[in-house]
Every structure is written in structure tokens, then in C-alpha cells.
Amino acid sequence: MLMIRAIIRPEKVGVVLSDLLESGFPAVTKMDVMGRGRQRGIQYGDVFYDEIPKEMLLMVIKDEDKNDVLDIIMRNARTGEHGAFGDGKIFITPVEEVYTVSSGNNQL
């Protein structure tokens, strides 16, 4: 099992979530985060924004679904044809065990 943490633009969350749902990955956790990336924040006129608001999507999936999920997130979270600075990052980490609280079942 893998945990996917995707940091994406807040305005792209809707399309990503609905495409994930249609593709059979309903289970997602979403949280508001603030951060900066390689671009080191944004200079907009006289104002410098060090931390930019983003949304983090957290989901745990089976190993074989990795490419599908990555494709869905990247296809929908991109700005324009070739993407732009600030479209986000995806981090993938291993998950060793999963439990469902209601039943104590240890299957995903």
C-alpha cells in the first residue's frame, strides 16, 4: 500500500476530487496547508508572499493503482497545456498496515 500526498492549487481541488470519484477512488482526505516551493514564494508588485495557500490531498491506495491515481491528479491539477510554477507536488510513501476502525479489519 502507498500513501499519496498531493499538494495542489486550491482552485483545482474540485476537478481532481470529482475525477478521482468517477475513476473509482472515492476515499480522500483534504486539508488546507500553507507553504512555499522552489520558486521561493511570489513577488507580486511590492508585495512578497513567502507562504502560498495550497490544499493537500492525502490518500492510501493499492500499489497497482499508483499510476492511475498519479495520472488523474497530474492531468487535472495542471494549469494550461504544459503546466506552470505552483501547480504542486506529489509525494509517495509506503504504508505498512491499515485498519478500519468500525470493524478492526486490516484490509484496505
Partner 1 sequence: MKEVMAVIRMDMINQTKEALLQKSFAALNCRKVLGRGKKKVNFTVVDDTNSPKVQETLTEEHRLIPKRLLCIVINDSDVKTVVDTIITVNSKGKPGDGKIFVVPIFDCVRVSNGETGGSAV
SS3 37: coil
**Segment interacting with partner 1 (CB under 8 A) among 39-47, 69-77, 83-91, 100-108:** 100-108
Site string for partner 1, 50-79 (x = CB under 8 A): --------x-x-------------------
3-state secondary structure 61-90: ECHHHHHHHHHHHHHHHCCCCCCCCCCEEE
Q: Rounded CA gap, 50 and 47, in Å?
A: 10
C-alpha cell, 72: 488523474
Q: Which of 45, 47, 85, 101 binds partner 1 (CB under 8 A)?
A: 101
C-alpha cell, 95: 504504508
**Segment interacting with partner 1 (CB under 8 A) among 26-34, 38-46, 65-73, 83-91:** 26-34
Q: Which of 27, 34, 84, 92 binds partner 1 (CB under 8 A)?
A: 27
CB of 87 to partner 1, least distance (A): 21
User: What are the backbone dihedrals phi and psi of residue 72, each rounded to the nearest 5 degrees, phi first?
Assistant: -65, -45
Residues that bind partner 1 (CB under 8 A): 3, 17, 21, 26-31, 58, 60, 93-104
